[in-house]
Every structure is written in structure tokens, then in C-alpha cells.
Structure 1
């Protein structure tokens, strides 16, 4: 078991010193840190390196829970990745400690799962509502209009060749077959 620290600040103006000192004083043997905007991929690469480095039974220590991401979704994603590896999380502000196996720690882990599922459901619902509102329900737009499809069906019934129709409408033979099988 190792204590692994993670420190992050959002801007170049901010200092990591206080976080690094606190993590060192907490006994962290290795400290990963990022001094970039939360949007920066480099920042998350450091956290991903920490996740790769950590082993089952290790404890990732942060000064506050929000250091793990800019949004609840990002935080939950990182917590999930750590949990799947059997890595615990502890905050120096005392809010979270999943390493002690207490009923509160277990409840917290389950609550995080509930919030992750809720956030996913909300995002999915918003996407679907937007699609319905704009009329863009997803999928590729058909190469042939409804009128052209009717025309193709009629011509197929009259015995015209699929190859000839595919060339005329500039579509694949498979598209003509799909229209025939509708």
C-alpha cells in the first residue's frame, strides 16, 4: 500500500506549493501534479499517469475532492477508474476516505454510482430532447429522397436491373437492394 498524491491548480498564476506541502506532510511517497487549465489534456494526462501507476490497495490523496476533475462527470470517471483497480481515495479536508471500509465509505461509493447514473440519464435526456426539437434524430441522411425511393421500387417491379438503377442514381447496388427489401 502506498500513498500517492495528486495536486492540481487551474491557472498558471496559482501555486501548487501549498497542496504539495500538504500531500508531503500526509506521507505521500509520490506526487503527481498539473498546473494547467482544467480543460488542458496535459492536466488529465498526469492524472491518467497516476491511475496507471497506482496498484490495488494504494490510496490516492488529494487536498479536496474537486481536484480530480472540473465536472461531476470527470470526477466520477476518475473515481470509477481508481475503484476498478482497488485503489482508495482520501481527501485531506476529511470529507472522503474510502480506505477505512466504514459504512460511510461504502455509502459514499454507492452514492457516487447513483450520481454518475443520474448525470448520464440527464445528459441522454437532453440529447434526445434536442434531437426531437431539431428533427435530427441521428443516423445518416438517406442518399435518395422518399420520391426517388418510390421511383426505384416502381422501376424494380417493372424489371429494371439493380445495377442500372444504382449507376443512374449514383448509389451502391446494396442501397438499391435495401430499397427493394423495405
Structure 2
């Protein structure tokens, strides 16, 4: 059975062209999503497709990028389709796993290599950006709950015998914060 999947990323794009191409390709059933690529509707329709396909089915898409927003997402979907015993065919001819040939297997492995490359490039760019931001004095993570001045005041109060509860109340924070500060500054 040929099962189609169509998706458009924006409200301005026309879904009808893809639906017509899938119908002309002979798809018996077509799942489709419209709206933003981040839309949960698209994910839900893709999930329906993966849950619907069975051994021997061929999933048909106009282009490979209809299965996801990133190569990793596309490969995950492709793995799920294959796990159901189904195969994938793109109408633009870029991928065809409907024939269990060495070329189809090599194509999937090549896509996996590109997915890994894509991920490594993203990690590299993110790391470079983070390092550059750090060199400019940007601090990452949650802001400290106490300013440096509040920390000094709390430490002085504790050193002068003020209880943790009274110190927390005077500073306007929680006892847990004062306990952590005391543990961090204790010898």
C-alpha cells in the first residue's frame, strides 16, 4: 500500500500541490499537516502516519524534508518507518528504500553521516558562541539569589552568632540559601 505524507511549513504555502502529486503517484491514503514546522499538528500527523504503516507499505513524500525540520528528525522518522516494516520513497528521487538494494542502504547511511555532521557543526558553533560571550563577560545560568553585598552581610551576621533563620529573614531569602552560603564559605 502506498501511503503519502504532505506538510507545509508556513500558512502561506499551498498544501494542494503536494496532495495532488501524492494522489497522482497512486497513494491510497494521505496524511497531511499544515502550519508552522514547529506545530504540534504536524508532529501529530506524522505520528499518526508512523503508527498506521505496516509491513510492506511504502511511505511516499514529495521531498525528504517533508518528514522533519532537521536531518536528525528525518532519520529518526525513517528509522521508525523501517521498524514498522515499511519503506520510504521520495517523488523527487532523492531517496528510495522501497527496493532493498545496496544503493538504498548506502543512501540511508550517507544521510546518517550528514546528520552527525550537522549536529557536530551546531555543537561547534554553539560552543564558539558561548566562549566568545564568556570572553565578553556574559555569565550563563541562573542569576545568584544573593548579591555579593548580601552574601558578605549574611556571612558577617552568621560569624557574629546570628541564627540561620534570623539571617535569612534579615536578608530576605530562604534558610536553604543561607545554609548553602555557609557551606560554601566554611573552611
TM-score class, shorter-chain normalisation, is 0.7 to 0.9
1:42-61 map, 5 Å: 42-55=41-54, 57-61=56-60
Matched residue SS, 1:7: strand
- Give the TM-score of the pair, scaled to structure 2: 0.74
Asked if structure 1 preserves the Cα contact closer than 8 Å seen for 2:6 and 2:62, the reply is yes
Quick one: distance in 2 between partners of 1:100 and 1:137?
A: 53
1:1-150 map, 5 Å: 2-9=1-8, 11-12=13-14, 15-16=17-18, 18-24=20-26, 28-34=27-33, 36=35, 38=37, 41-55=40-54, 57-69=56-68, 71=69, 73=70, 75-85=71-81, 86=83, 87-132=86-131, 133=133, 135-150=137-152
Matched residue SS, 2:25: helix
Residue 94 (structure 1) shift: 2.7
- Structure-2 change in CA distance of 1:167 and 1:121 (3 Å): farther
Runs of 4+ in 1 over 6 A off after TM superposition: none
- CA displacement, residues 51-76 of structure 1 (integer Å, 9 cap, x when unaligned): 2322455321113223324x4x1x53
Q: Aligned Cα RMSD in Å?
A: 2.9
Matched residue SS, 2:5: strand
Residue 152 (structure 1) shift: 2.0
Residue 82 (structure 1) shift: 3.6
Residue 41 (structure 1) shift: 4.6
Report whether the alignment pairs 1:163 with 2:162: no
Q: Which runs of 5+ in 1 are unaligned?
A: none
- Give the TM-score of the pair, scaled to structure 1: 0.76
Segment drifting more, 89-98 vs 168-177: 89-98
Residue 142 (structure 1) shift: 0.4
Quick one: distance in 2 between partners of 1:15 and 1:92?
A: 13
Q: Which runs of 5+ in 2 are unaligned?
A: none
